[in-house]
Amino acid sequence: MRSIDADLDTLPKLLIRNAAAIGKRPAIRHKDLGIWQTWTWREMLEEVRAFSVGLAELGLERGDKFSIVGSNRPRLYWAICAGQALGAVPVPAYADAVAEEMAYILAHSEATLAVVEDQEQVDKIIAISDRLPHLGRLIYDEPRGLKDYDHTRLIAFEDVQRIGRNKLASDPQCLRRWEAGVADGKGSDLAIILYTSGTTGRSKGVMLTYQNVIVTARNANAFDRLGQREEVVAYLPIAWIGDHIFSYVQSYAAGYCVNCPETPDTVIDDRREIGTTYAFAPPRVYENLLTLTMVRMADAGRLKRKLFDFFLGVARRWGEQILDGEKVPLRARVLYAIGDLLVYGPLKNRFGLSRVRVAYTAGEAIGPEIFRFYRGLGLNLKQLYGQTEASVYISAQPDGEIDRETVGKPSPEVEIKISESGEVLFRSPGVFIGYYKDPEKTAEVRTPDGWVHTGDAGFIDPKTGQLKIIDRAKDVGRLKDGTLFAPKYIENKLKFYPNIREAVALGAGRDFVCVMVNIDLTAVGSWAERNNVVYGSYQELAGNPLVYAMIAQHIDELNRSLAEEPAMAGAQIRRFLVLHKELDPDDGELTRTQKIRRGFIAERYAPLVDALYSGATAADVSTQVTFEDGHKGMITARVAIRDMQPHAAPAQIGRAA
Amino acid sequence: MRAPSSHELAVGEVLLAVEDVSLSFGGVRALSEVSFNIRKGEIRAIIGPNGAGKTSMLNVVNGFYQPQSGRIVFKGETRSQMRPYAAAQGGIARTFQNLALFRGMTTLDNIMAGRTLKMKRGFFWQLIRHGPALQEEIEHRRRVEEIIDFLEIASIRRTQVGRLPYGLQKRVELGRALAMEPDLLLLDEPMAGMNLEEKEDMSRFIIDVNQQYGTTIALIEHDIGVVMDLSDRVVVLDYGRRIADGTPDEVRRDKNVIRAYLGEPHGVSA
């Protein structure tokens, strides 16, 4: 393992280094009141230091835990570093978590202080404060609406900074003491606790050291040759390891600039204005962009549509080869160049991806068609496989060695092996030191010699030498007759259709495969508008027979493609239904990172599952839903079920006569 | 919902008083001898069943209609004749029941339009758009951006208003009224046609406007639940007459109000 210098082994030390070495370069930006505000590394150090000293004055000490809740704002990133400078441990929580989840994380981590974004978060925490005996001060960034609140516990971010600045000005020893405190930090210290959203059960607090995150971040920077000049947009949840490494640790290690969007809804515009060079997004983001494009194109004029379709065909045929530097006919090269001028360039510009050098997709398997679409446009989109327990990086695809089905070669200093049962295990300098207050779970996941069980089933692809993930190890099942059934494989194929937002495939231990589908309101809504289909609600649109017919057509296409794969032909979809409500993390149906929780959904919609397998043509279901403010209500519906005809597998060659 | 607070203390002197105002259209009496006042810093609701004369009342206040009798005292000055333009200059802004936005213009331009009265440079300066005129525009734009941030409509800054959903259009209209930095903000059914979530959002914005900018607000609303949570005082109109006036609790218990809303035959009232 490559060791790191003792003077650069924590994030506050890196901040001081950057302020001295590249003090005038931009460190972070935030779009506020329609204008990008910039802080240089030197300015950022001053902000962080003032807040840090303020925190110390409020009583935050080495070893204390403190929580961060909110969206991507400079001040929340500063708070992380400010606490770390004192030796305290930040525990970010997902901003959209309902009160119940937040109560669990804050209570479990014993946070003594919380830095939150605005009134919404303050309200949420006040509502649960009787369950948080450890929690003291509550610091907020955005004062709106909080004027009349009781300020015995509440304090504004700038007031904490003012306390810090006053202290620094009045006490000449203060600065030296603060710097000595930073110097006391060691690479082996606990840097952060990140709670995983987990597809099963309670979330677990993953403990990572400075060594874990900094070594991993440096390796990643070296792997993709990232330097000071990168621009990234921070828009993924702060509490997610991906954002933490990508928008915080890698930025501190490489000295690049992080840009915080104006609001979560303006990310696409903000990204275009900034011109990101390095992008990182879960497949969902790419899917949404593609859906949006397809919907807009459907409304475009005939000429535009024709051009778009033609050049998209060219991109699909030749784009990837050109991107990978392979030999292609001159005609293809010329056509592609014209396409770049007319379609791909403008399209990438709209997405804010024109300047991207490296774009990663991670968090979940990406639909192969989506992957090919972006690469065809000339975007250097690569796959990455990671986990919170690994400080993200387990494997990544090197430039030019891209394969749609794999997730890359082991990242620098990472070892990968496959267990006998087919599970992927890894060992690396980024391996976490344990789950907070849960040594049993830790022992279950990490072997004594440092190997970590990922819980994913996969193998090393003999063709490319890269890792290939099939599914969650425990999700891969078999039908009653022994046919292999990989639910995620089917779901991902369905999700490529812009009309389908989510799909849940069922079939393990059953006679045949069934799916429950969520329609995409943007895409289907636009279709409804064009076809004069009137609807009053999501539920009504989902139940529309014409929508059913459209989904049936998609599934039929999928069945045909499954029939062509010998291993999958038996797993064709026989019955399906369209769910009456959108799957939602607030109802526990999706994780906070928007992965479906298949087991939970099957249980929750048991009447529907029973009906799917009993041959009924419709089923009644009533489900409890949670609204954004935490109120609960009931939705009842009668959901129709459709049968599908499986396709025959094509006759196998050599079996004739 | 709202705790009594420093806010109640801020509610003080009378900003606007309506005294014995009567208004009729031909033979139809829209308002008869209505009196009530609006105090500085409060949220004042005007409620009543359909056709009670609520919108007429608002139109009288901002000079749209001229009452046949009675008078209106605004900031200590008595008015007999008032024009909407003068009302706007005097610091009264309003939104409309059926929206009155420039549909072909963007959110930003619509709200900028609300700054018209605050522009000091004349037409020719603005044509040149240099020096002082540019400085002024930058300053106005900053104020408008604050409002955009306040109302959380940054993502639709450059969207044509006509393409926005109804709930957002209502918010843009509120933004335009706020851009005038009014002393008195009149809201005509700000929550009409909204779903529960949109209503909650709008309620929060109204409270925030009142608290943060200290703007006095008079609003007409159908949704009684919302009004009771939101307002400091409520005046109830029925058939053009004032039938009750007081805090939400007082009004809720008032016999006349209950009768008016339950729809008992009129003319039997004690």
pLDDT at position B7, please?
44
Q: What range does the domain containing B71 cover? A: 1-91+182-270
pLDDT at position B269, please?
44
B152 with B29, same domain?
no
Q: Which residues contact A206 (CB under 8 A, 6 or more apart)?
A: A193, A194, A195, A196, A241, A388, A389, A432, A435, A436
Share of chain B above pLDDT 70, in %: 89
Paired residues of B69 in beta bridges: B22
Work out the minimum CA distance from A555 to partner chain B, whole angstroms: 33
Please give the residue of chain B at the shortest CA–CA distance from A35.
Answer: B145
Q: What average pLDDT does range B148-175 have in this prediction?
A: 91
Chain B residues whose beta carbon lies within 8 Å of the beta carbon of residue A629: 200
Amino acid (one-letter) located at A544 = N
In degrees and rounded to multiples of 5, residue B32 shows phi and psi of: -130, 120
pLDDT, one tens digit per residue, over B235-256 is 999 888 999 999 999 988 888 8
Interface touch A34/B197, C-beta < 8 Å? no
Residue B146: inside a domain: yes
Confidence of residue B4 (pLDDT cuts 50, 70, 90): very low
Provide the 10 A C-beta neighbour count for residue A308: 19
User: CA–CA separation, A344 vs A350, rounded Å?
Assistant: 10
User: CA–CA separation, A258 vs A247, rounded Å?
Assistant: 6
Mean pLDDT score of chain A, rounded to an integer?
Answer: 90
Report ipTM (2 d.p.): 0.73
For strand A392-396 and strand A409-410, is the pairing parallel, antiparallel, or unpaired?
antiparallel
Task: Residue count of chain B, please give it.
Answer: 270
Residue B97: inside a domain: no
User: CA–CA separation, A14 vs A254, rounded Å?
Assistant: 10
Confidence of residue B9 (pLDDT cuts 50, 70, 90): very low
Provide the sign of the torsion angle of the four alpha carbons B54, B60, B63, B65, taken in this order: positive
pLDDT, one tens digit per residue, over A222-260 is 999 999 999 999 999 999 999 999 999 999 999 999 999
> In which element (H, E) is residue A468 found?
strand A467-472
Q: Which residues contact A198 (CB under 8 A, 6 or more apart)?
A: A204, A591
B51 with B163, same domain?
no
Residue B10: inside a domain: yes
Strand positions, DSSP E, A388-466: 392-396, 409-410, 415-418, 423-427, 434-435, 452-460
B172 with B194, same domain?
no
> In which element (H, E) is residue A75 found?
helix A74-85
Give yes or no for a contact between A308 and A295, defined as CB atoms under 8 angstroms apart: no
Specify the number of domains making up chain B. 2
Provide the sign of the torsion angle of the four alpha carbons A268, A270, A276, A279, taken in this order: negative
Give yes or no for a contact between A76 and A141, defined as CB atoms under 8 angstroms apart: yes
Chain B residues whose beta carbon lies within 8 Å of the beta carbon of residue A266: 154-155
> How far is the CA of A64 from the CAs of A89, A136, A287, in angstroms?
6, 12, 40
pLDDT at position B225, please?
81
Q: Which of A160-174, A396-410, B252-266 has the largest mean confidence?
A: A160-174
* Domain closes at, from B164, B180, B196: B180
pLDDT, one tens digit per residue, over A405-433 is 789 999 999 999 988 777 899 999 999 99
* Domain closes at, from B157, B180, B203: B180
pLDDT at position A651, please?
57
Whether the predicted pLDDT of B268 surpasses 50:
no
Q: Could you write out the DSSP letters of every residue in A205-267?
A: EEEEEHHHHHHHHHHHHHHTT--TT-EEE--S-TTSHHHHIIIIIHHHHHT-EEEE-SSGGGH
B122 with B207, same domain?
no
Instruction: Pick A263's closest partner by Cβ from B152, B200, B212.
Output: B152
Whether the predicted pLDDT of B24 surpasses 80:
yes
- Assigned token pair, A164: 């810090």
B108 with B79, same domain?
no
B85 with B201, same domain?
yes
Confidence of residue A458 (pLDDT cuts 50, 70, 90): confident
Interface of B with A in 115-144 (CB under 8 A): 141-142
Residue B3: inside a domain: yes
Burial of residue A23, with CB atoms counted within 10 A of its CB: 0-12 exposed, 13-18 middle, 19 or more buried: middle
Burial of residue A215, with CB atoms counted within 10 A of its CB: 0-12 exposed, 13-18 middle, 19 or more buried: buried
Interface touch A262/B154, C-beta < 8 Å? yes
Higher-confidence residue: A199 or A45?
A: A45
Confidence of residue B265 (pLDDT cuts 50, 70, 90): low
B133 with B266, same domain?
no
Whether the predicted pLDDT of A26 surpasses 90:
yes
B119 with B64, same domain?
no
- Assigned token pair, A403: 């394969």
Please give the residue of chain A at the shortest CA–CA distance from B5.
Answer: A148
Closest CA to A244 of A232, A236, A256: A236
Residue B11: inside a domain: yes
Provide the 10 A C-beta neighbour count for residue A397: 22
B4 with B47, same domain?
yes
Interface touch A145/B155, C-beta < 8 Å? no
Share of chain A above pLDDT 90, in %: 61
Q: Which residues contact A302 (CB under 8 A, 6 or more apart)?
A: none
Residue B16: inside a domain: yes
User: CA–CA separation, A636 vs A622, rounded Å?
Assistant: 4
pLDDT, one tens digit per residue, over B68-90 is 888 888 888 887 667 788 888 88
pLDDT, one tens digit per residue, over A583-627 is 988 888 888 777 888 888 988 999 999 999 998 898 888 888 877
B206 with B174, same domain?
no
Residue B5 contacts A, CB cutoff 8 Å: yes
Residue B150 contacts A, CB cutoff 8 Å: yes
Q: Which residues contact A231 (CB under 8 A, 6 or more apart)?
A: A256, A257, A259, A274, A275, A276, A277, A278, A355
Domains and CATH numbers, chain A: 6-276 (3.40.50.12780), 281-428+446-453 (no CATH), 477-643 (3.30.300.30)
B186 with B172, same domain?
no
Closest CA to A193 of A64, A73, A70: A64
> In which element (H, E) is residue B136 found?
helix B131-150
Residues of A with CB under 8 A from a CB of B: 32-35, 144-145, 147-148, 262-263, 265-266, 269, 627-629
* Domain closes at, from B163, B180, B197: B180
Chain B residues whose beta carbon lies within 8 Å of the beta carbon of residue A147: 211-212
Residue B96: inside a domain: no
The three-class DSSP label of residue A524 is helix
The three-class DSSP label of residue A518 is strand
- Assigned token pair, A438: 């849960």
Whether the predicted pLDDT of A1 surpasses 50:
no
Chain A residues whose beta carbon lies within 8 Å of the beta carbon of residue B112: none
Chain B residues whose beta carbon lies within 8 Å of the beta carbon of residue A263: 152, 154-155
Provide the CATH number for the domain around residue B40: 3.40.50.300
B135 with B252, same domain?
no
> In which element (H, E) is residue A168 found?
helix A157-170
Alpha helices per DSSP H over A467-605:
487-495, 521-530, 538-543, 545-563, 598-604
Interface touch B208/A144, C-beta < 8 Å? yes
User: CA–CA separation, A3 vs A429, rounded Å?
Assistant: 10
Confidence of residue A495 (pLDDT cuts 50, 70, 90): confident
- Assigned token pair, A33: 């009141």
pLDDT at position A656, please?
38
Work out the minimum CA distance from B164 to partner chain A, whole angstroms: 15
Q: Which residues contact A165 (CB under 8 A, 6 or more apart)?
A: A50, A53, A54
pLDDT, one tens digit per residue, over A101-143 is 899 999 999 999 999 999 999 999 999 999 999 999 999 999 9
Residue B118: inside a domain: yes
- Assigned token pair, B187: 């809201």
Q: What average pLDDT does range A315-340 have in this prediction?
A: 89
* Least confident stretch, A30-34, A104-108, A567-571: A567-571
Q: Tell which of A142, A146, A148 to mutate to test the B interface (max B CBs under 10 Å).
A: A148
> In which element (H, E) is residue B248 found?
helix B248-253
User: CA–CA separation, A346 vs A41, rounded Å?
Assistant: 34
Instruction: Pick A263's closest partner by Cβ from B6, B154, B208.
Output: B154
